[in-house]
Amino acid sequence: MLLLQGVFRSGTTALFRVLRRDERLRCFYEPLHPNVLHHTREARDARPDHPKSSLYAEYGPLLDRLKSKLGSPLPNWPCRLDTDDEAPALATYLHCLTDTDAEPLLQFNRAFWMVPWLAQTFPDASFVHLVRDPRAVVWSQLTTDSGRVRMDWPLLGRWLPFSSSTRRRAFSEYAYFGAYQLDEYFEAGLRLLDDGPGNAVLDSALQRLEAVREAPPYVKALALWGAQVEVCKHHAQSAFGPRSLRLRYEDVCDAPCDPLRSIYDLQNRPLSDPVREHARRTIDPSRRRRWTDVPTAEHRFHEGIEQAQIAGLMRDLGYDPL
């Protein structure tokens, strides 16, 4: 069994699309997504207009079973679980997905604060933590593919070129932080901090959020990346031990076969030929550092990294914060 976790916009979807080419895997995309049943119905109804409908096709045969056991919509899952915490509904749901003759793969973007619980619930699973340069992550979270800023006032983002001082200020002050539930997890982190002591690693990471509570959206997004990645990084190693693997998205882009082979080594299996060939055809190296195409971005991100207090974590992961 394979668990894949990464922050939103870290390349987990690209890696998932590659791995699901392996016919020996039964792959489930974002099982903690709040709209997973809606997307599953779209996939079952063959709605090709939704760009991710096909990713949820594996849920289709289980739809009636999931609804009978858990209801519809699915419950709101907790965002944090420790080793001894009980979450019977979530355990039932995930075991429904993994009850298969094939080898299950679960791809998460929302499990960063529940890694110890996952290790206890699935003691034979392997865990892959995919990380990406936080500047690229935040740039992708707060802009569209064309580089336009996701804004509370969308039309303004279309009218102004990013090179203008007005647009730079808009990115800093008015970028839409609601994309990909970033604001939801930022506020959840603050609530966890307010609830009192958890564990030292989590509390230390969440302090970043408190320090930038009133900061611009891109700074808050950098701090949230730090809180999510640091906790997941620590607990993946401590909870899964030798069954854990941390990969950088940039390395997957540069030479995909080596990181993919390391994933298969966790499973004591050779790299699948369809997976290898699909990776060579589809992984786009140009997506690594799109934020560098904007002359002002480097200065903004340098300030943001300092405010978010993530320079040390970046260095630990092999990224130069300067």
Distance CA 135, CA 187 (A): 21
Looking at residue 49, its pLDDT comes to: 63
Are 32 and 108 within 8 A, CB to CB? yes
Q: Hey, is 247 helix, strand or coil?
A: strand
Q: Cα–chain-centroid distance for residue 77? A: 16
Task: DSSP for 22-89, please give it.
Answer: -TTEEEEE-TT-TTHHHHHHHHHTT-TTSTTGGGGGGGGGGHHHHHHHH-SSPPPPPS---TT---HH
Helix, strand, coil shares, percent, the chain, to 5: 55, 10, 35
Query: Would you give the DSSP letter of residue 150?
Result: P
Kindly report the pTM of this predicted structure: 0.90
Residue 189 has pLDDT above 70, yes or no: yes
Is the per-residue pLDDT at 296 higher than 90?
no
Model confidence pLDDT, tens digit, residues 203-223? 888 888 999 999 988 999 999
* pLDDT for residue 241: 94
Beta strands in the chain (DSSP E): 2-5, 25-29, 103-108, 126-131, 244-248
Task: Report how far Cα 32 is from the mean position of its chain's Cα atoms.
Answer: 11
The answer to whether residue 199 scores a pLDDT higher than 80 is: no
**What whole-number distance in Å separates Cα of residue 18 and Cα of residue 13?**
9
Domains with residue ranges and CATH for the chain: 2-32+77-316 (3.40.50)
pLDDT at res. 170: 67
Residue 140 has pLDDT above 60, yes or no: yes
Measure CA 317 to chain center. 16
By the 8 A CB rule, do 130 and 260 touch?
Answer: no
Instruction: Tell me the C-alpha distance between 195 and 72, whole Å.
Output: 30
- Residue 245 pLDDT > 90, yes or no? yes
Cα dist from 187 to 78, 152, 168, whole Å? 13, 18, 25
Angstrom distances, CA of residue 305 to CA of 72, 128, 208: 41, 25, 11
Instruction: Decide if 78 contacts 114 (C-beta within 8 A).
Output: yes
